[in-house]
């Protein structure tokens, strides 16, 4: 098979319908159109790292591993978003914005730890989309 396209990354994002277009537009702006594989699951990093969704974790890791083999990607771009139903499912009480950011960040840290162990050569990028459609990079 001829493979002249250089794939750059896998994008891990949430299934929330409100964020499909913003995520797509953001990646286009980054000149990544056609250059990334995509894994979309409830909660993005929350779905693949929070204990509440344990059953989903290995499905993600298997898909990531497959994309690394098939597409030779070098990076995982994680895009979580605010007002995420999966974030709410991790808590019984209603969330204030600040609490929700803590949930995203703690899942980013968990995921980063898993990645360092399983795929240490993979670059990581963590982002949160806000409801005003602004995206913010998160440094761990």
Q: Applying CB under 5 A, which residues contact Zn ion? A: 14, 16, 84
Query: Which CB sits closer to Zn ion, 8 or 81?
Result: 81
Closest CA to 110 of 78, 85, 88: 78
Beta strand residue intervals within the chain, DSSP E: 9-13, 36-40, 75-81, 123-129, 135-137
Query: Which CB sits closer to Zn ion, 14 or 76?
Result: 14
Token digits of residue 82? 């605010």
Query: Which CB sits closer to Zn ion, 10 or 100?
Result: 100
Query: Which CB sits closer to Zn ion, 16 or 100?
Result: 16
Rounded to 5°, angle at Cα 62 from 33 and 90: 90
Query: Which CB sits closer to Zn ion, 14 or 73?
Result: 14
Cβ of residue 41: shortest distance to Zn ion, in angstroms? 9
Partnered with residue 129 across adjacent β-strands are: 81, 135
Cβ of residue 98: shortest distance to Zn ion, in angstroms? 18
Token digits of residue 69? 């083999």
Cβ of residue 37: shortest distance to Zn ion, in angstroms? 20
Cβ of residue 100: shortest distance to Zn ion, in angstroms? 10
Cβ of residue 118: shortest distance to Zn ion, in angstroms? 24
Burial of 55 (0-12, 13-18, 19+ CB in 10 A): exposed
Rg of the chain over Cα atoms, rounded to whole angstroms, equals: 15
């Amino acid at each position: 098979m001829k493979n002249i396209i250089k794939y750059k990354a896998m994008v891990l994002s949430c299934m929330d319908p409100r964020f499909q277009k913003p995520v797509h537009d953001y990646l286009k702006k980054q000149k990544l159109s056609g250059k990334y594989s995509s894994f979309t699951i409830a909660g993005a990093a929350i779905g693949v790292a929070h204990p509440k969704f344990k059953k989903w974790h290995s499905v993600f890791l298997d898909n990531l591993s497959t994309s690394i083999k098939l597409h030779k990607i070098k990076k995982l771009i994680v895009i979580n978003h605010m007002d995420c139903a999966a974030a709410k499912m991790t808590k019984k009480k209603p969330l204030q914005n600040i609490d929700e950011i803590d949930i995203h960040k703690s899942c980013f840290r968990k995921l980063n730890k898993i990645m360092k162990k399983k795929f240490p050569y993979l670059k990581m990028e963590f982002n949160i989309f806000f409801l005003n459609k602004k995206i913010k990079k998160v440094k761990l």
